[in-house]
Structure 1
Amino acid sequence: MSARLEGVTLLPTDGAPAGPAVDIVIADGRIAAIEPAAGAPVRRRLALPALVNAHDHCRALSPTSFGAAAKPLETWLMRLAAMPPADPYRAALAAFGRAARGGAGSVMAHYTRFHGPGLPEPMSPVDEAREIARAARDVGVRVTLAVFMRDRNPLVYGDESALLAALPDAARAAVAAAFLTPMPGGEAQIARVEAIAAAVESPTFSVQFGPSGPQWCSDGLIAAIADRSRATGRRVHMHCLETRYQRAFADAAYPEGVVARLKTLGLLSPRLTLAHCVYARDADLDLIAASGAVIATNPSSNLHLSSGIAPIGAALRRGCRVALGVDASALDEDDDIVRELRLGQFLHGGWGFETVVERGDWLAGVVRDGRFANGAPGDGRLAVGAPADILVLDLDRLDRDAVMAVEPIDLVFARATAAHIDRLIVAGREVWRDGRLTGADLDGAEAALRQAYRDTIATRAGFLAAWRDLEPAAIAHYRDLCGCC
Structure 2
Amino acid sequence: MIVAGEALLGPDLAHAPGAALRLDGDAIAAIASIAAIDTGASGTAGPRRLVMPALANAHDHARPLSLTSFGAAFLPLETWLPRSILATPPEPYLAAAAPLARAARAGCAAVMVHYTRPSGAMPLLDEAGEVARAARDVGVRLAFALAVRDIHPLVYGPEEEVLAGLPAALRREIEAAFLRPGMPPHAYIALTEAIAAAIEGPTVSVQFGPAGVQWCSRPLLEAIAERSAATGRRVHMHLLETRYQRDWARREFPQGIVTYLREIGLLSPRLTLAHATYADEAERAMIAEAGATIVTNFSSNLHLRSGLGPIREARAQGCRVCVGLDGLAFDEDDDMLREMRLVQAVHGPWGFDGPDDRRRFLVEIVAAGRAALGAPGDGALAPGAPADLLVLDLDALDRDAILPVAPLDLVFARATAAHVREVVVAGRRIVAEGRVTGLDLPAAEAELRARYRASVPHHPLLRAWPRYEAALRDWYARRIGCG
Q: What TM-score does the superposition give when structure 1 sets the normalisation length? A: 0.96
Aligned match of 1:9: 7
**Are 1:348 and 2:347 matched, yes or no?**
yes
Tell me how far apart the structure 2 counterparts of residues 386 and 13 of structure 1 sit (CA, whole Å): 11
Aligned match of 1:331: 330
Structure 1 unaligned regions, length at least 5? none
Q: Alpha-carbon deviation of 1:439?
A: 1.3
Q: Is the 8 A contact 1:249 1:481 kept in 2?
A: no
Aligned match of 2:38: none
Aligned match of 2:463: 465
Q: Is the 8 A contact 1:53 1:326 kept in 2?
A: yes
**Are 1:68 and 2:72 matched, yes or no?**
yes
Tell me how far apart the structure 1 counterparts of residues 146 and 430 of structure 2 sit (CA, whole Å): 25
Q: Is the 8 A contact 1:84 1:456 kept in 2?
A: no
Instruction: Give the letter for the 2:153 counterpart.
Output: P
Deviation string 1:275-317 (CA, Å, 9 cap, x unpaired) is 0000000010000000000000111101111011110111111
Tell me how far apart the structure 2 counterparts of residues 396 and 77 of structure 1 sit (CA, whole Å): 42
Q: Alpha-carbon deviation of 1:13?
A: 7.0
Picking from 466, 469, 472, the partner of 1:474 is 472
**Are 1:229 and 2:228 matched, yes or no?**
yes
Q: Is the 8 A contact 1:148 1:211 kept in 2?
A: yes
Instruction: Give the letter for the 1:101 counterpart.
Output: R
Aligned match of 1:381: 380
Deviation string 1:339-390 (CA, Å, 9 cap, x unpaired) is 0110010011112223397000000000000000000000000000000100
- What are the within-5 Å matches in structure 2 for residues 127-142 of structure 1? 127-142=126-141
Q: Is the 8 A contact 2:315 2:321 kept in 1?
A: yes
Percent identity reads 55
Aligned match of 1:28: 25
The alignment partner of 2:16 has SS state of coil
Distance 1:85 1:9, change over 3 A: closer
Tell me how far apart the structure 2 counterparts of residues 295 and 371 of structure 1 sit (CA, whole Å): 13
Q: Alpha-carbon deviation of 1:254?
A: 0.4
Tell me how far apart the structure 2 counterparts of residues 428 and 345 of structure 1 sit (CA, whole Å): 29
Q: Alpha-carbon deviation of 1:410?
A: 1.0
Q: Is the 8 A contact 2:50 2:393 kept in 1?
A: yes
Q: Is the 8 A contact 2:70 2:86 kept in 1?
A: yes
The alignment partner of 1:412 has SS state of helix
Q: Which stretch of structure 1 is more off in the superposition, 184-193 or 267-276?
A: 184-193
Tell me how far apart the structure 2 counterparts of residues 335 and 7 of structure 1 sit (CA, whole Å): 26
Instruction: Give the letter for the 1:79 counterpart.
Output: R
Deviation string 1:117-167 (CA, Å, 9 cap, x unpaired) is xx3xxx111111111111111100001111111110011111121110011
Q: Is the 8 A contact 1:102 1:336 kept in 2?
A: yes
Aligned match of 2:62: 58
The alignment partner of 1:95 has SS state of helix
Tell me how far apart the structure 2 counterparts of residues 393 and 151 of structure 1 sit (CA, whole Å): 44
**Are 1:83 and 2:82 matched, yes or no?**
no
Tell me how far apart the structure 2 counterparts of residues 298 and 151 of structure 1 sit (CA, whole Å): 25
Distance 1:85 1:337, change over 3 A: closer
Tell me how far apart the structure 1 counterparts of residues 145 and 268 of structure 2 sit (CA, whole Å): 17
Distance 1:356 1:481, change over 3 A: farther
Tell me how far apart the structure 2 counterparts of residues 241 and 157 of structure 1 sit (CA, whole Å): 13
The alignment partner of 1:480 has SS state of helix
Structure 2 unaligned regions, length at least 5? 36-40
Q: Which stretch of structure 1 is more off in the superposition, 48-57 or 79-88?
A: 79-88
Tell me how far apart the structure 2 counterparts of residues 61 and 398 of structure 1 sit (CA, whole Å): 28
